[in-house]
Amino acid sequence: MKWLIRFTVLAALLGIAAAQIKQVAKTNAEIRQEIIKQSIASYKGTCPCPYSVDRAGRMCGRRSAYSKPGGASPICYQKDVTPKMVVDYRKRNSR
């Protein structure tokens, strides 16, 4: 009978620990990276950012959408992510 009580207590503690692990919030840096990743994924062409590689395997550089004025403006660098974008991301993804 003692083993059943111990098992039940251990299972409950593990459940609490698992719930706490799931609730760990992303850092601002992780959110910025996620925003960049989503922005690049939503770009329809092959050269969203200067560091992207085209179909031939060449770096996009100045041919990237990021480097050209007007048109698409993908977010490629952490410096491009504003504090408001981070706040908005947290609001959209909070549970």
pLDDT score for 11: 58
Domain span holding position 46: 2-93
Mind listing the pLDDT tens digit of every residue in the chain (95 residues)?
A: 665 565 555 555 566 655 555 568 899 999 999 999 999 999 998 999 999 999 999 999 999 999 999 888 999 999 999 999 999 999 999 86
Two tokens at 37? 């990743």
Residue pair 51/60 in contact (Cβ under 8 Å)? The answer is yes
Q: How many domains does the chain have?
A: 1
pLDDT score for 22: 59
Tally: H helices and E strands in the chain:
3, 0
pLDDT score for 27: 94
Within 13 Å of residue 3, how many CA atoms lie on the same side as its CB? 0
pLDDT score for 71: 81
- Maximum separation of any 2 CA atoms in the chain, in Å: 73
| 56/44 Cα distance (integer angstroms) | 17
